A and B are shown apart, each in its own frame.
Chain A
Amino acid sequence: MSYQFDTVKVSGGYHSREHNNSVGIPVYATAAFDFDGFDHFNSIRAGEQLGYLYSRVGNPTVAALEARVAQLDGGTAALAFASGMAALSNTLLAVTGGKGRILSTKQIYGGTFDLENDVFPSIGIEFDLVDHDSSIEEWEAQIKEDTKAVFVETISNPSARLLDIEALADLAHRHNIPLIVDNTFATPYLFRQIEHGADIVIYSATKALNGHGNAIGGIVVEGKPFKWAEAKFPQLYKKHWVARDLDDNPRSFIEAFPQFPFTAFLRTKYLAYFGASLSPYDAQLILIGIETLSERVSKQVANTRKVVEYLAGKSDIVSWISYPEYENSKYKTLADQYFPNGAGTVFTFGFKGNDEQVNKLIDSIQLFRYQANVGDARSLLINSPKTTHGELTPDELTAAQIKPETIRLSIGLEDAGDLIADLEQAFAKAFEN
């Protein structure tokens, strides 16, 4: 029987009878697992029997989280990592097989940007970046022989820009490469990208997925089976000893795990060796956070709309607002098409103050917190150019279209009136002499 989203968020992926009837998911705070004998070990390893070998590569609490998120997204499998960046970097490494190109945009989270610019090229993975608002033809022009994937954020960080996911999915599939999306800001509640053609989804679970700012984690979801062409993705067809069957015949991941070859490959070859495993304790926290995903995000969207409306009336302080539902936004159509429940809870605005006044603004906020996170139950404010996108040089910031006066807000669950009053008083203090 298949359940609706709200039901899955509460009970997906976990059966208490498999865990001594414990209603709450136990925290399997263990490094290892006992075996009844070698056969038992081998059949788990070969994927013939459900079980666990070692918590770096698999753990019951973490497995429950993986199953729940896969179900919420309508994917076939998921894999958890110690952080969003681990999820992202391991995925890009796995999809390129260590060599190749990724096509992406210039308007992206600062950490990702630096990874693309600096770290990955040093190990053989190149990025081609187009402007976020490029036409499909402009995107297509950048696809090269060794491009292995298209990668975008479904709602970009920090300015909440949107793109036409279906069009990009079509483009990617025309060239036999997967579309990888970072759905962190939206969460499965606001956007079910697999339904729109995305093949692999990445989350920083740290953000709105968990929603309480109390755990760092990342998740990769594998969508409907993708046709991985052997010529482009030989790593999935190579026969690996670690994927051998019960009779010790080496197998490829496509052979061994036909339903979810990519996540199996990611787990066995990347999670295993780069070791960015998620703690079972943090997995439990994230599971608990997911139980209120719909309620939290819908309330946060309502709050966001009110704060945007307030800022829209402060033209003496606010030079521009970047939020897809804002009437002037060029992404309004895309918002209506893809994000009927709201285009996220994070947006930016231009602050008409100098550096000193920005400092004063930050000093004066009392409810909004000045910290580097988004999607928390608490509302947050940050000056992105200097912080979350601080890795970008002024030139890069310009190319990324992140203006120096950018302030990013992540709206939480507090009373909207209180939030607006906080901004009001902080603006006043920032500009007083």
Chain B
Amino acid sequence: MASFDTLRIRAGYNSREHNYSVNVPIYQTAAFDLGSIDRADRLWTFEEENAIYTRIGNPTVTVLEERIKALSGAYGALALSSGMAAISYTILALTEYGGNIIAPNSLYGGTEDSFSHFFPRFGANIKFVNNRFDISSYEKEIDENTRGIYVESISNPNCEVYDIQALSELAHQYHIPLIVDNTVATPYLLDPIKYGADIVIYSATKALGGHGNVIGGIIVDSGNFRYAENYFPQFYEKSYKLKDISGNCRSPYDIDQVSPFLIHLRAFYLEFIGASLSPFDAYLILQGLDTISERVSKQSENAAKIVDYLKNSGYVTWVKYTTVGNEKNSEQVKKYFDKGAGGILSFGFDGTDEELDRFIKQLQYFSYHVNIGDVRSLIVNCAKTTHAEMNSDHLSRAGISENTIRISAGLESAEDLISDLESAFSKLYQLREIEFTGADENDLDEITELEKICFSEDKAASKAAFEYRLQNFPQWFITARYNGKIVGFINAAPTDKDYITDDVYLPGGYFKTSGKSIFVYGLVVHPEYRKRGIADRLLNEIFKNAKSTGKTRVVLTCIEGLIPFYESHGFKQSGKSESILGKENNYNMSLSLL
């Protein structure tokens, strides 16, 4: 029996059956020629297993199913258009005649939400277990209507690991299947069937496909579970649709005694609810599978290195990974995850929403989007995104902090990833140490120097100009200081004019204390202190002062390159300025405070 690394490349495909094409052809077709009435009869009655129509079966998709089946040591597999299709089909098919499924309350947001609010509409009730690591808590929930226990092998986003073997033993004691969502681990890190899982589900979108370029789902049936008739009468229901070649009605069980579940799914769910996987997408997932071992092991390595870094950085208040921050995991992780502990981790730090936003924006090697298991490293704030369906109550019972940031480690160099995080963190923390205060004549030299560093000679304001401004309207001069040194400042003047002319910049320039507008002369941040949000803060200080003194407008002029920055603060462009400072085009920008 070939081992994992060989199977992921070769299982399920014989090129001789496909015009010797080395790579699996993409059967980009809706239908298949039937050949003859006889053959059609055989196809319709499962006597012959060949494709009829891509919604219910396609050669490219079949190769994918066969390969996953081989990798899982399973009896059969079914590919679908998404992971959620795989989950919903499984839950709904098992509970068709009513019933409940037991699950821990810390799951992927979409799963949790559909379990709580959506599936119940179809008669599938979910009983959530709060004491997730305690097997007896699951047992307490089992009643004569329970039709399965459902867990994530590595939970999303907290990386909790439960005792799958114990859970499967419990489930089998009560004649119900154990369903494991093995998305985060993939077959490479964990074979749930080995530990007793009966049904395994994947979002192939994630690390299974691995390139973030396709949405897909897979359901795997181990073939070990006996679906008893009293619990799953739907698998024993005879229908004309499933008739044999002589026209006798049959049930899914009649067709396949080992997995009536998969027959039922293909014949009714895939057939009538139609979440079929595109052959092109199946091809992409097969491509991704070719490198699953290398990808997932590298991702686990990277995740572990990031976890180490975060733990020792002092920047975060908590870190969760399969091997860290989940003491209850340790037994299970040792037992189940000897090849690596997965590519996702989460952490939290005490910060404002603004800080979090800036932190994420500054990262160069982490993409901000919702996915996991891509070759690219990803970062996301779960509470507002991937687990947004959960309210605060839910989140807290699930042990998911509101400040959870989840990272999915990609294949970039760990050094680059860590230095990227370090740079973003250090800037964030540094900004906290920046003091925002005023200025006086003792600061004049420092201010003038900083202005010269940031502006060319013909644009820089003179010491005399600053002196004039500090004398006449010091309340509009705000500095940012780091360890006492001025690293940025903003200065403005009250005015009653709509737009600014160049003479205003000079010492003695026009201002009007009672004016309703504030004109910003300049906003300056030392080059070594940029991208920390200092400019944002300085501007906000001006806004704060302006609002509290009843001003109605803030105006300024800027070069074309800075228009987006000011627009992000709510300024609107109002045409080219007459100012010729710096001999480039300047634009009038205006913000209404009303």
Contacts and interface: CB of A to CB of B under 8 A. Distances in A.
Interface stretch (A19-27, A209-217, A253-261, A357-365): A19-27
A33 B33 contact: no
Given A23-B33, A29-B283, A18 B25 contact: no
B30 to A, nearest CB: 7
A32 interface: yes
Interface stretch (B11-19, B200-208, B222-230, B561-569): B11-19
Given A20-B18, A20-B51, A30 B30 contact: no
A32 B34 CA distance: 29
A284 to B, nearest CB: 6
A34 B27 contact: no
Contact of B26 (A17, A29, A31, A52): A29
Contact of B28 (A17, A26, A52): A26
Given A25-B28, A34-B22, 14 more contacts: A16-B33, A18-B19, A19-B25, A20-B51, A22-B27, A22-B59, A23-B29, A23-B33, A29-B26, A30-B23, A32-B22, A33-B15, A51-B20, A52-B19
B31 interface: yes
Contacts of B59: 20, 22
B19 A17 contact: no
B25 A23 contact: no
> Nearest 6 pairs between A and B by C-beta?
A24-B29, A30-B23, A27-B26, A26-B25, A34-B15, A21-B33
B33 A28 contact: no
Given A33-B15, A34-B16, A23 B22 contact: no
B45 interface: no
A412 to B, nearest CB: 25
A21 B21 contact: no
Nearest to A59: B21
A259 B572 CA distance: 72
A60 B32 contact: no
A23 B19 contact: no
B24 to A, nearest CB: 8
Nearest to B35: A21
A284 B25 CA distance: 12
B194 to A, nearest CB: 33
28 contacts: A16-B33, A19-B25, A20-B59, A21-B32, A21-B34, A21-B35, A21-B50, A21-B51, A22-B29, A22-B51, A23-B31, A24-B30, A24-B31, A27-B25, A27-B28, A28-B21, A28-B26, A29-B26, A30-B21, A30-B24, A31-B23, A32-B23, A33-B20, A33-B21, A33-B22, A34-B15, A51-B20, A52-B19
A16 B16 CA distance: 16
Interface residues of B, number: 26
Contact of A20 (B15, B22, B23, B50): B50
Contacts of A23: 29-33
Interface in A41-57: 51-52
A28 B19 contact: yes
A36 B24 CA distance: 17
A273 interface: no
Contact of B19 (A16, A35, A60): A60
Given A29-B283, A31-B22, A31-B23, A20 B28 contact: no
Contacts of B17: 20
B54 to A, nearest CB: 9
A257 B33 CA distance: 33
Interface in B28-72: 28-35, 50-51, 59
Nearest to B52: A21
Interface string A1-26: 00000000000000011111111111
A36 B35 CA distance: 27
Interface in B224-238: none
A28 B29 contact: no
Interface of B: 15-35, 50-51, 59, 280, 283
B11 to A, nearest CB: 16
B16 to A, nearest CB: 7
Given A21-B50, A21-B51, A35-B20, A16 B32 contact: yes
B372 to A, nearest CB: 27
Contacts of A284: 28
B32 A30 contact: no
B35 to A, nearest CB: 7
Chain A contact-residue range equals 20 to 34
Given A26-B26, A31-B22, A51-B20, A17 B15 contact: no
B27 A20 contact: yes
B35 A17 contact: yes
A24 to B, nearest CB: 3
* Of listed B23, B50, B280, residue having the most chain A CB within 10 A: B23
Contacts of A25: 28-29
Interface in A275-294: 281, 284
A201 B59 CA distance: 37
A19 B19 contact: yes
A78 to B, nearest CB: 20
B47 to A, nearest CB: 16
A34 B20 contact: yes
Contacts of A27: 25-26, 28, 280
Nearest to A53: B20
A105 B327 CA distance: 82
A281 B280 CA distance: 11
Interface string A235-272: 00000000000000000000000000000000000000
Nearest to B19: A60
Given A27-B26, A30-B25, A17 B20 contact: no
* Of listed A21, A35, A36, A284, residue having the most chain B CB within 10 A: A21
Contacts of B28: 24-27, 284
Interface string A291-312: 0000000000000000000000
A22 B32 contact: yes
Contacts of A24: 27-31
B21 A20 contact: no
Contacts of B30: 23-24
Nearest to B14: A34
A402 B571 CA distance: 51
A52 to B, nearest CB: 7
Contacts of A16: 32-33
Contacts of A51: 20
A34 B18 CA distance: 10
Contacts of A60: 19, 21, 25
A28 B17 CA distance: 13
A413 B28 CA distance: 26
Contact of B33 (A17, A30, A31, A52): A17
A52 B50 contact: no
Contacts of B15: 33-34
A420 B125 CA distance: 61
Given A17-B35, A21-B50, A23-B29, A29 B20 contact: no
A32 B29 CA distance: 22
A26 B29 contact: yes
A51 to B, nearest CB: 7
B32 A29 contact: no
A291 to B, nearest CB: 13
B277 to A, nearest CB: 16
Contacts of A35: 20
* Of listed A18, A22, A23, A30, residue having the most chain B CB within 10 A: A22
A26 B22 contact: no
A29 B25 contact: yes
Contacts of A18: 19
A51 B20 CA distance: 8
Given A21-B51, A60-B19, A28 B32 contact: no
A52 B21 CA distance: 8
A51 B34 CA distance: 24
B52 to A, nearest CB: 9
Nearest to B31: A23
A21 B51 CA distance: 8
B347 to A, nearest CB: 41
A65 to B, nearest CB: 14
